């Protein structure tokens, strides 16, 4: 439903002025119970959905030896042979590479690497379709119902995955699991937004807690899965069935949630039946004194057709306005396309196991390859714990600075871009780590180092740093920008992830071809990670520009602008109508690298704290001293919040010698005005 007003910032109401302390305490307790329940449920569900990711290397080696249909570089031929007696003819199928020259020179071609890239491309494409479909269903059906139904679907899909005997079946059920998982994060955003409508800052706290839950579940599930395969006699099919138990426990946990305070099931945008359709009767007549009757009894087909027509019209009248608002927003398309970079890096967990196995020169075995994905999840968890807090602190400091500048009518040039520079630094870190993984995949580099263990350690460190660099961009920034869409934030979040996954699927298809063409154990992974870095460069440049506009909008005067569209997001209006001031136009688009260097050199936490103290001391000196009168007395302001009484100033003991001012003192030399 389109809300006919203009959103300003986060579309949440302020707490009531007359709210009692007991009511505030009860609301705070309710918020923490909601966050704790979501944390437990999402941790269990994330662990269950991550189980197929850790099983990819084992599944690839187990099934791809007999199936090469997914590789376009191989074809099946039949060889005519005779039995031992030489009388009975037999036809034996065998695989032959289309490019015979490469077939003669490279015999160690790894089919499992091609399978992993192919699986990642298909699963990401299905995830994109799930985002578009489930984003609408979350608003219509309700977040709680979606979490209950889809967690049960994940459990059933994992159970069926353990019974697959073909690669096509594994790909199909893995894609089905990701289809169900695609609705979890939009449902969580909608539920947090509905519960934090009357609480200041509770949405950010819930977002921080739930994002940690997603990474904690993955971080625990991957090593457990790999250790079960290594230390026990369980096969990958048995481990997949064990993962379904975790999804069942998550379903039980979600029963204790509610869509809104006091209501178990409260969809944000439920279906509305049109009055004309609700009162219309096909072939019937009605009167105020007699019930509705028909000229002829409708058949079962006619009744179902009428019900289906009414449902379609109600669905169109309910969903169409919200979808139109999101899809017509320029902000949505720019943010969704720029979200591709973080989505590609996050979805790389499915190919990291095969990457480490192909480039480790035998150090990483098949059972250990699935555990290598743990380092990416550990890096993302560290990025959420430390980077998320730093980003929130920078945003809070930015808000305080804007309020101070509005009171003082002063603003330092480019000082309001502190959070933007932090995001640029994280993006540059991710880009450098992608190139580092590409560099370490070169056969020449691996031969020069002479130590496969050293190469493995460097790859692990680069993977952890890559996870740290994309955590804030993947979880926090889209949710922050989605708050400007108000009631449509869930639909915006789902569609943003959907466009990002759709573009990522195309990227992974190209990367899979590059890996296959260059040979996985040769220079194939060099091309793959270099392509990911290139995509990340383009996406990060666009995302930094959006954050730049977002921050500058808060410090601009809205009354100077032309009338804006009341149904659109205020940030979308900002992207189309904002004219930057004269000082800001000197450097219209600050380069990504320069923004990152500004964060490292001038805006680190220690430097920022010292700069804030020096600015506060200088501000107090200017405000507390107006000059010296003709008789030598100090001229102090009549009223100042930061000024203490004059008796306290002169009565306070100090170790420094105190000298009375004289009329012969030059105020320009004695004081900094």
pLDDT per position as a tens digit, 414-439: 444 566 777 888 889 999 999 999 99
What mean pLDDT comes out for the span 151-155? 94
pLDDT for 202: 72
What mean pLDDT comes out for the span 398-404? 55
What mean pLDDT comes out for the span 136-159? 91
Do 519 and 641 share a domain, yes or no? no
**476, 211 in Cβ contact below 8 A?**
yes
pLDDT for 386: 80
DSSP string, 625-650: --EE-TTS-EE--S--TTPPPHHHHH
Do 549 and 630 share a domain, yes or no? no
pLDDT for 331: 81
pLDDT per position as a tens digit, 441-475: 888 888 888 888 888 899 999 999 999 888 888 88
Which residues are within 8 A (CB) of 523 and not within 5 positions of it... i.e. 6 or more apart?
441, 442, 443
617 band by pLDDT with thresholds 50, 70 and 90: low
Is residue 574 situated within a structural domain? Answer: no
Is residue 599 situated within a structural domain? Answer: no
pLDDT for 214: 83
> Would the pLDDT of 571 be above 80?
no
The beta-strand segments (E) located in 531-654 are 627-628, 634-635
Give the number of domains in the chain. 2
Do 523 and 634 share a domain, yes or no? no
The last residue of a domain, from among 494, 522, 554? 554
CATH number of the CATH domain containing 428: 1.20.1250.20
Do 540 and 661 share a domain, yes or no? no
> Would the pLDDT of 144 be above 70?
yes
Which has the minimum average pLDDT: 98-107, 169-178, 482-491?
98-107
Higher pLDDT among residues 532 and 102, named by residue: 532
Do 535 and 626 share a domain, yes or no? no
pLDDT for 629: 60
The last residue of a domain, from among 554, 576, 591? 554
> Would the pLDDT of 177 be above 90?
yes
Which residues are within 8 A (CB) of 396 and not within 5 positions of it... i.e. 6 or more apart?
none
pLDDT for 265: 84
What mean pLDDT comes out for the span 635-654? 51
Is residue 550 situated within a structural domain? Answer: yes
Tokens 């688009």 sit at which residue? 589
15 band by pLDDT with thresholds 50, 70 and 90: very low
Do 349 and 227 share a domain, yes or no? yes
**472, 388 in Cβ contact below 8 A?**
yes
Do 230 and 357 share a domain, yes or no? yes
> Would the pLDDT of 627 be above 80?
no
45 band by pLDDT with thresholds 50, 70 and 90: very high
268 band by pLDDT with thresholds 50, 70 and 90: confident
pLDDT for 300: 66
Is residue 96 situated within a structural domain? Answer: no
Is residue 310 situated within a structural domain? Answer: no
pLDDT for 293: 47
- The H or E element that residue 173 is part of is helix 167-181
> Would the pLDDT of 411 be above 50?
no
**177, 45 in Cβ contact below 8 A?**
no
Residue 140 lies in domain: 45-65+103-270+318-554
The CA distance from 133 to 130, in Å, is: 5
Tokens for 548? 């730049």
According to the per-residue pLDDT averaged within each range, which of 27-41, 255-269, 299-313, 640-654 is highest?
Answer: 255-269
25 band by pLDDT with thresholds 50, 70 and 90: low
**378, 467 in Cβ contact below 8 A?**
yes
Higher pLDDT among residues 616 and 251, named by residue: 251
412 band by pLDDT with thresholds 50, 70 and 90: very low
Is residue 583 situated within a structural domain? Answer: no
Do 549 and 632 share a domain, yes or no? no
What mean pLDDT comes out for the span 153-165? 92
Do 242 and 340 share a domain, yes or no? yes
204 band by pLDDT with thresholds 50, 70 and 90: confident
> Would the pLDDT of 91 be above 50?
yes
> Would the pLDDT of 63 be above 50?
yes
Tokens for 364? 């990483």
The last residue of a domain, from among 554, 570, 604? 554
Do 645 and 546 share a domain, yes or no? no
Do 363 and 471 share a domain, yes or no? yes
The CA distance from 467 to 386, in Å, is: 12
**Which DSSP letter does residue 69 get?**
T
pLDDT per position as a tens digit, 236-252: 889 999 999 999 999 99
574 band by pLDDT with thresholds 50, 70 and 90: very low
pLDDT for 417: 52
pLDDT for 439: 92
Do 345 and 484 share a domain, yes or no? yes
pLDDT per position as a tens digit, 303-340: 677 777 777 777 777 778 888 888 888 888 888 888 88
According to the per-residue pLDDT averaged within each range, which of 135-139, 240-244, 348-352, 419-423 is highest?
Answer: 240-244
**118, 350 in Cβ contact below 8 A?**
no
Longest C-alpha distance within the chain, in Å? 129
Higher pLDDT among residues 70 and 469, named by residue: 469
Is residue 521 situated within a structural domain? Answer: yes
Higher pLDDT among residues 385 and 626, named by residue: 385
According to the per-residue pLDDT averaged within each range, which of 92-101, 198-207, 308-317, 619-628 is highest?
Answer: 308-317
Q: Is 27 left (phi over 0), alpha (psi -120 to 50) or beta?
A: alpha
Whole-number average pLDDT of the chain? 70
Is residue 502 situated within a structural domain? Answer: yes
**49, 157 in Cβ contact below 8 A?**
no
> Would the pLDDT of 513 be above 50?
yes
The CA distance from 356 to 520, in Å, is: 10
- Confidence (pTM): 0.64
Closest CA relative to residue 348, chosen from 210, 132, 531: 531
């Amino acid at each position: 439903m389109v809300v006919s007003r203009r959103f300003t910032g986060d579309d949440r109401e302020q707490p009531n002025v007359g709210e009692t302390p007991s009511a505030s305490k009860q609301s705070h307790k309710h918020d923490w119970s909601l966050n704790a329940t979501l944390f437990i449920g999402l941790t269990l569900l994330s662990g269950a959905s991550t189980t197929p990711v850790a099983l990819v290397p084992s599944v690839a080696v187990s099934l791809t030896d007999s199936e090469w249909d997914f590789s376009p570089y191989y074809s099946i031929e039949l060889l005519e042979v005779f039995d031992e007696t030489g009388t009975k003819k037999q036809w034996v199928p065998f695989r032959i590479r289309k490019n015979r020259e490469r077939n003669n020179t490279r015999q160690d071609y790894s089919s499992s690497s091609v399978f992993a890239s192919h699986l990642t491309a298909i699963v990401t494409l299905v995830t994109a379709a799930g985002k578009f479909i489930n984003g609408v269903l979350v608003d219509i059906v309700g977040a709680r119902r979606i979490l209950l139904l889809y967690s049960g679907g994940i459990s059933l899909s994992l159970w069926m995955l353990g019974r697959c005997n073909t690669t096509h079946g594994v790909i199909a059920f893995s894609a089905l699991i990701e289809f169900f998982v695609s609705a979890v994060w939009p449902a969580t955003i909608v539920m947090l937004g509905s519960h934090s409508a009357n609480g200041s800052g509770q949405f950010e706290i819930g977002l921080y807690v739930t994002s940690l839950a997603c990474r904690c579940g993955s971080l625990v599930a991957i090593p457990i899965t790999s250790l079960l395969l290594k230390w026990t006699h369980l096969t990958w099919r048995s481990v997949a069935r064990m993962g379904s138990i975790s999804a069942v426990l998550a379903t039980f946990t979600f029963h204790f949630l509610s869509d809104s305070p006091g209501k178990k099931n409260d969809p944000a945008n439920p279906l509305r039946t049109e009055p004309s359709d609700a009162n219309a009767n096909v072939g019937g007549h009605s009167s105020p004194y007699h019930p509705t009757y028909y000229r002829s009894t409708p058949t079962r087909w006619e009744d179902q057709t009428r019900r289906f027509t009414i449902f379609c019209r109600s669905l169109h009248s309910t969903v169409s306005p919200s979808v139109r608002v999101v899809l017509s927003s320029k902000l949505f398309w720019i943010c969704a396309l720029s979200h591709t970079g973080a989505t590609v890096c996050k979805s790389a967990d499915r190919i990291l196991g095969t990457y480490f196995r192909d480039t480790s020169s035998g150090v990483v075995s098949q059972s250990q390859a699935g555990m290598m994905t743990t380092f990416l999840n550990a890096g993302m968890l560290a990025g959420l714990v430390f980077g998320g807090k730093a980003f929130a602190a920078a945003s809070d400091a930015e808000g305080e600075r804007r309020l101070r500048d509005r009171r003082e009518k002063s603003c330092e040039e480019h000082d309001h871009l502190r959070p933007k520079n932090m995001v640029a630094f994280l993006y540059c870190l991710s880009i450098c780590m992608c190139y580092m993984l590409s560099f370490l995949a070169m056969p020449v580099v691996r031969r020069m180092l002479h130590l496969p263990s050293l190469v493995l350690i460097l790859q692990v460190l680069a993977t952890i740093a890559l996870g740290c660099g994309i955590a804030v961009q993947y979880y926090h920034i889209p949710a922050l920008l989605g708050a400007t869409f108000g009631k449509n934030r869930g639909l915006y979040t789902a569609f943003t992830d959907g466009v990002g996954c759709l573009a990522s699927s195309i990227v992974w298809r190209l990367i899979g071809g590059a890996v296959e063409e260059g040979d996985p154990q040769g220079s194939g992974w060099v091309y793959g990670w270099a392509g990911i870095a290139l995509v990340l460069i383009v996406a990060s440049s666009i995302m930094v520009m959006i954050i730049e506009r977002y921050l500058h909008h808060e410090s601009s005067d809205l009354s100077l602008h032309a009338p804006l569209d009341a149904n659109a997001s205020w940030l979308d209006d900002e992207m189309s109508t904002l004219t930057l001031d004269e000082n800001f136009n000197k450097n219209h688009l600050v380069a990504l690298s320069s923004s990152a260097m500004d964060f490292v050199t001038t805006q680190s936490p220690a430097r920022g704290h010292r700069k804030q103290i020096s600015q506060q001391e200088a501000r107090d000196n200017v405000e507390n001293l107006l000059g010296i009168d003709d008789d030598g007395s100090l001229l102090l302001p009549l009223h100042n919040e930061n000024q203490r009484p004059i008796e306290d100033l002169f009565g306070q003991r100090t170790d420094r010698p105190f000298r009375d001012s004289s009329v012969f003192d030059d105020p320009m030399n004695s004081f900094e005005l």
